[in-house]
Amino acid sequence: MKWLQALCAVICLALAACSDTGNGADDEQVLRVGVASLPSSLGNPYRGNGRPGSLLWHAIFDGLTRLDFEGDPEPALAVEWELVSPTVWRFTLREGVRYSNGRPFDADAVVEVFEWLATPEGRRNLIGIEMRDIVAVRAIDTLTVEFETARPDPILPRRLVTVNMVEPRALQEMGLDAYSRAPVGTGAFIMTRWDQRRRHLTLERNPDSWRESSLDRLIFLELPSSSGRTQALLSGDVDFALIDLEEMDRLERGGFPILSTPSMQVKAYTFRVEGSSENSPVRDVRVRQALNYAVDKHAISALLPGGAVPSGQPAPRGVFGHDPLIEPYPYDPDRARALLAEAGWPDGFELTMEVLTDAAPGDDLMTQAVAEYWRQVGVNTRLRIVTLPEYLNRLLTNNWRGDAFALSWNSFQYNDITRAMNDFSCGRFVPYFCDEAITQEFQAARVLHDEAARLEAYQELARAYRDAAPSVFLVEHRDLFAYAPYVDGVRIRHRVPVYEEITLQRP
């Protein structure tokens, strides 16, 4: 029951009021952030590349590049870059940067990071897998480093956004598990306390960071239910939180500002085509198309925050690869039933779909709605709730128990459809959808340095993916953030608050 979850959350916060969640000295700037979960890998930024880890890792670490507020790559630890040859990029590093343990950040550190990612241990992490096309990293001098790729990689400056620059020698000396509990980075904050019992993480301002912070301390509090995070905001126990759709009215009435920002994702429910049984209905494209026709995307998007429009393709607006001419599948349950009958399933079938709960605004609502729409055309859908660690494991291994699972077309990190298309291709480490013709076209398109030619090729691929229907394309998804009226300077970049710019003007 949500009211009971919220009450428990408030009691836990009240009991912790005299501990590290307190505001400290009167002149101390402490931001308390309510999150649905803390990353299971804590300070290991290579296990994943999205929520909840990104909320923490962007405070502790930096990449060579980052995305600006428009979603384009801009300098971070590298100040400029150039294409030397079709397979070689050269990066010039920022001068005078040091890790929080005092070690200089330089070209040798970059080389050591990528050498570790290429080890068997590094390859067991998602980022290590995604960087496997980098075949050599060379230090030209102290502040110049070259990357050589196995094939032309026109978006390498975007892809390097995902690689946080850990302190490689500390990682090697401590081991990954110990390092994840005491990470060393170049970011604006240093992780100083991990209270596992109460699920609190405390970060202190890094006085030597190249990113000067207005905040002295940043505290993350794990509050699994959206109603619990809302109640914590209303009671003043947290200052900032990710919220769900159903909490908006309550917070707005209380005077809390709310930000709705693009998430660079097309919300989707994906079919396990590869790895499913030989007689699985979802192996038939007509079944997958039927399940797209079965869902009223306009009705669902009307329930979501402004900007959440229906989609029928891999890329949302603003992401490289989006085609404005592609329309969503229309809501046509009669067409859905006809396609199911044509595929040999006139009476429907049983389908299990594995999903997370409270993962993003409107997720639970959309999941229930999609399952009900499918039931109405004869596909009796059973939802199986999985934990985040279980979900991540199954995503990496394609070891799903059902024939569908919640997986969006996620262009987060790159703001480019390349990564999402690769995830839905035969080139994925363990594919769940493999169309040889689409994959061949994608592999040819992804190496084009001519941006106009690559965009045209990607838009053609978007149409092919729409027809192949590896997922039910739903809506262009958005994030929802709420914060107390005394929190100033809130800006969202790359789906993460720019913590170092935030100031608090408590009454």
Residue type, 438: I
Around Cβ 180, how many Cβ atoms within 10 Å?
22
SS3 for 220-256, per residue? EEECCCHHHHHHHHHHCCCCEEECCHHHHHHHHHCCC
Around Cβ 200, how many Cβ atoms within 10 Å?
21
d(CA 409, CA 506): 40
103 burial (CB, 10 Å; 0-12 / 13-18 / 19+) is middle
pLDDT 10s digit of each residue in the chain, 507 long?
443 444 344 334 433 433 454 555 567 899 999 998 888 888 899 987 777 888 899 999 999 999 999 889 999 999 999 999 999 999 999 999 999 999 999 999 999 999 999 999 999 888 998 899 999 999 999 999 999 999 999 999 999 999 999 999 999 999 999 999 999 999 999 999 988 888 899 999 999 999 999 999 999 999 988 889 999 999 999 999 998 888 888 999 999 999 988 888 999 999 999 988 889 999 999 999 999 999 999 999 887 766 679 999 999 999 999 999 999 999 999 999 999 999 999 999 999 999 988 777 778 888 999 999 999 999 999 999 998 888 888 988 889 999 999 999 988 888 999 989 999 999 888 899 999 999 999 999 999 999 999 999 999 999 999 999 999 999 998 888 999 999 999 999 988 999 999 999 887
Report helix, strand or coil for 31: strand
For residues 425 and 442, the answer to whether their CB atoms sit within 8 Å is yes
2-60+187-256+484-504 homologous superfamily:
Periplasmic binding protein-like II (3.40.190.10)
User: The tokens of 81 are what?
Assistant: 């870059």
Vertex 32, ends 26 and 35: CA angle to 5°?
175
d(CA 258, CA 427): 40
18 burial (CB, 10 Å; 0-12 / 13-18 / 19+) is exposed
d(CA 412, CA 310): 18
- For residue 263, give the H/E element and its range: strand 258-271
Cis check: omega of the bond before 224, within 30 degrees of 0: no
pLDDT number for residue 149: 97
**Residue with token string 């916060």:** 13
Predicted TM-score of the model (pTM)? 0.84
Say yes or no: do domains 2-60+187-256+484-504 and 262-479 share a fold.
no
Q: How far apart are the first and last CA of the chain?
A: 34
* Fold annotation for 262-479: Dipeptide-binding Protein; domain 3 (3.10.105)
Show contacts of 258-261: CB within 8 Å, 24+ apart.
Answer: 258/480, 258/481, 258/482, 259/479, 259/480, 259/481, 259/482, 259/490, 259/492, 260/305, 260/306, 260/307, 260/478, 260/479, 260/480, 261/478, 261/479, 261/481, 261/492, 261/495
d(CA 80, CA 94): 9
Residue type, 327: E
Domain boundaries of the chain, sorted by first residue = 2-60+187-256+484-504, 65-172, 262-479
* Fold annotation for 65-172: Dipeptide-binding Protein; domain 1 (3.90.76)
Residues 6+ apart with CB under 8 A from 121: 176
